[in-house]
């Protein structure tokens, strides 16, 4: 953010505000990632405990419940990630302006309005989160746990038929 002695103080203040906004946006994006890891941890812990309980209790229905819980955690993470994505537009606006020496053309203090505009533009029919949910780093481990629970449930049913 090129500030030199010839830059008027109002411009310096604007550049400092944009810099603070940029770093705050980066913190917000990182916080979303940390919470996404928490969602994954809860998913794995709860759902694998359900799978274990299904075998300890000899209750195959718990396998299906665990599988459905993993799918719900997957949807929650996709929705969470779609909220995070709305912050990237403002971050990229600031970066592009900085790269093109056009920072003074931006207005600072636009985190909320930029997020809202980005969110509403990307939520045409709720498509964004359904696309995001297939990103590998969003889908895993939820898909593996959901598929594993469902396959074990079907396997238990087949096993009972064979006995």
Reported as a single tens digit per residue, the pLDDT across 31-62 is 999 999 999 999 999 999 999 999 899 899 99
Asked, as a colleague might, if the bond just before 96 is cis with ω within 30 of 0, I would say: no
Q: pLDDT (tens digit, 9 = 90+) per residue, 118-149?
A: 888 877 656 788 899 999 999 999 999 999 99
pTM of the model: 0.85
- Report the C-alpha gap between 46 and 142 in whole angstroms: 11
In this structure, the chain runs to a length of 163
Tokens found for residue 53: 């309980």
Q: Please say whether the beta carbons of 88 and 29 come within 8 A.
A: yes
Q: pLDDT (tens digit, 9 = 90+) per residue, 55-107?
A: 899 899 999 999 999 999 999 999 999 999 999 999 999 999 999 999 999 99
- pLDDT of 161 above 90: no
């Amino acid at each position: 953010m090129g500030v030199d002695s010839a830059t008027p103080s109002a411009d310096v203040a604007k550049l400092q505000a944009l810099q603070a906004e940029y770093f705050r946006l980066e913190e917000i994006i990182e916080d979303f990632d940390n919470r996404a890891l928490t969602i994954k941890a809860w998913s794995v812990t709860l759902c694998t405990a359900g799978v274990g309980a299904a075998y300890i209790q000899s209750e195959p229905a718990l396998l299906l419940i665990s599988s459905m819980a993993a799918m719900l955690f997957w949807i929650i993470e996709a929705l969470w990630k779609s909220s995070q994505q709305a912050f990237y537009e403002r971050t990229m606006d600031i970066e592009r302006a900085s790269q093109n020496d056009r920072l003074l053309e931006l207005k600072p203090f636009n985190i909320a309005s930029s997020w809202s505009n980005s969110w509403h533009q990307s939520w045409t029919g709720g498509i964004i989160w359904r696309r995001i949910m297939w990103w590998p780093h969003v889908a895993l481990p939820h898909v593996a746990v959901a598929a594993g629970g469902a396959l074990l449930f079907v396997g238990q049913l087949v096993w009972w038929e064979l006995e």
